[in-house]
Amino acid sequence: MSKKEITVALAGNPNSGKTTVFNNLTGARQHVGNWPGVTVEKKEGFCNFQKHRIRVVDLPGVYSLTAYSLDEIIARDFVVDEKPDVVVDIVDASNLERNLYLTVQLLEMRANLVIGLNMMDVAESRGHRIDVKALSSLLGAPAVPMVAASNRGTAELLETIYGVATGGIPVSAINLRYGHDVEAEITKLEKLISGNSLAGSYSPRWLAVKLLEDDREIIKKIGQA
């Protein structure tokens, strides 16, 4: 990439340690405002790495991107409309199954994803052993073990962000399969959606999944396109 600024969106469940990661990355170089048109707090910060300025946007903490709440709509719209160079999903490693629901949704959106496996110390204290390489391979996105509370893993996270943004670390988006019956319906909807103007901004497959979920925001967007 030729540009010298890298935009990073920080996503994650509430209480995953996302804000601590944001503070570790940006230090005092932060700005707090509101998202346009709403009173939800928006935090941005900056850091420098390898002669690049890295802009870090702290998205609202959410459990999913199903657009049932204003926070979910804000987070989802930023990923889709602003197209950040990298999306970092901060995951509580001690509650992996619950946290990976958001990860799966980000993968379906074809985001350039980096997984920050935070709270590894808590996971280990509970007897959980996570094969980080295997997890990265299964999800098609690099995972970085972290303990944000003691600033462990921040340097490795920055290196990974830079590698993904500049193409040095590949992100191979996986296709999640939902079984024969659901996949048949997804295929039908993809064909119908392919001619819609939204297909240029959103993955047709992701749109099809959202329609099957009866996602009111996506239904409205498709109707307006």
Q: Which of 9, 14, 23, 7 is nearest to 148 (CA)?
A: 23
The one-digit pLDDT tens for each residue of the chain (225 residues) are 446 899 999 999 999 999 999 999 998 789 889 998 888 889 999 999 999 999 999 999 999 988 789 999 999 989 988 999 999 999 999 999 999 999 998 998 889 999 999 999 999 999 999 999 999 999 999 999 999 999 999 999 999 999 999 999 988 867 788 899 999 999 999 888 887 777 677 778 888 988 998 888 888 888 776
Tell me the domains of the chain and their CATH numbers. Answer: 5-166 (3.40.50.300), 180-224 (no CATH)
pLDDT value, residue 174: 74
pLDDT value, residue 1: 45
- How far apart CA 20 and CA 129 sit, in angstroms, is 23
Q: Which of 44, 39, 49, 12 is nearest to 159 (CA)?
A: 49
pLDDT value, residue 2: 45
What pTM value is reported for the model? 0.90
pLDDT value, residue 206: 85
